[in-house]
Amino acid sequence: MDDRAMITVLIIDDNVGFRVQARALLAAAGFSVIGEARDGSSGLEAVRTLRPDVVLLDIGLPDVEGFEVARQLAVTGPPPLVVLTSSREASEYGPRLTNSRVLGFIPKDELSGAAIRALVLRP
């Protein structure tokens, strides 16, 4: 993926405060945030209609866990790049995180355009 092209992002998180901050932060970093979803099922629907390059996916969603959303995204259609996030640290999830088929994990407080770009452009 070309680092100069506008990368489209979909944010799936139930916490509105985080969505607002993340959208502003990513927009400021040159990403195009094309949509937001507040839970797993509406997130899956948004991925189908919006076809984002990257999905910033919270692990703790109210209806279904982020791990499960990521699993479904991986098996249906052309999968987007999934970046899991959480306000917990990676060590709180152990093998479930390391075994999930996603691009990577960024703790919420570490979120930045640079962090996402580092994952996306990782060879």
Partner 1 sequence: MSTTASVPRTTNFAAIPILLLISAGALGLGMLAGRPQQGAPTLGMVLQVFVGWSFAACGIFIWARRRANRLGPLMATVGMLWLLGRAMALIPLPVTFTAGSWLSDLWAAAFAAFLLSFPTGRLIFRADLAIVGIFLFVSVPLEFVWMLFWVPGNGLNALAIVPDVAAAHVVDTLQRILISLAAVLLVASLGRRWLRSSGPVRRQMAPVLVGAIAILLQSASWIYFSSGTTFDPLDDLIFVAQIAIPISILGVILRTRMARARVADLVVELGETPTPARLREALANALGDPSLQVAYWSRVLDRFVDAAGQIVELPVDGAGQAVTVLERNGAPEAAIIHDAVLLEEPGLVASVAGALWLAVENERLAAEVEEQLTEVRASRARIVAAGDAERRRLERDLHDGAQQRLVALTLALRLAQTRLGDDADPAVKLSLEQASQEAKAALSELRQLARGIHPQILTEAGLHAAIESLAVRTPGDVSIDIDPMARFDPTVEAIAYFVVSEALANIAKYAEACAVQVRATWQEGVLTVEVTDDGRGGADPQTGTGLRGLLDRVSAADGTLEVVSPPGGGTRIVARIPAARATRAADPTPAGLAT
Residues 57-96 that bind partner 1 (CB under 8 A): 58-62, 64-65, 68, 86-89, 91-96
- Helix orientation angle between 40-50 and 66-75, rounded to the nearest 10 degrees: 30
| Total of chain residues touching partner 1, rule CB under 8 A | 33
User: Do 70 and 84 meet the contact criterion of CB atoms below 8 Å apart?
Assistant: yes
Nearer to partner 1, 80 or 85 (CB): 85
Indicate whether 39 belongs to the interface with partner 1 (CB under 8 A).
Answer: no
118 belongs to the binding site for partner 1 (CB under 8 A): no
Q: Counting contacts by CB under 8 A, is residue 31 touching partner 1?
A: no
| Dihedral Cα 79, 11, 1, 82, nearest 10 deg | -40
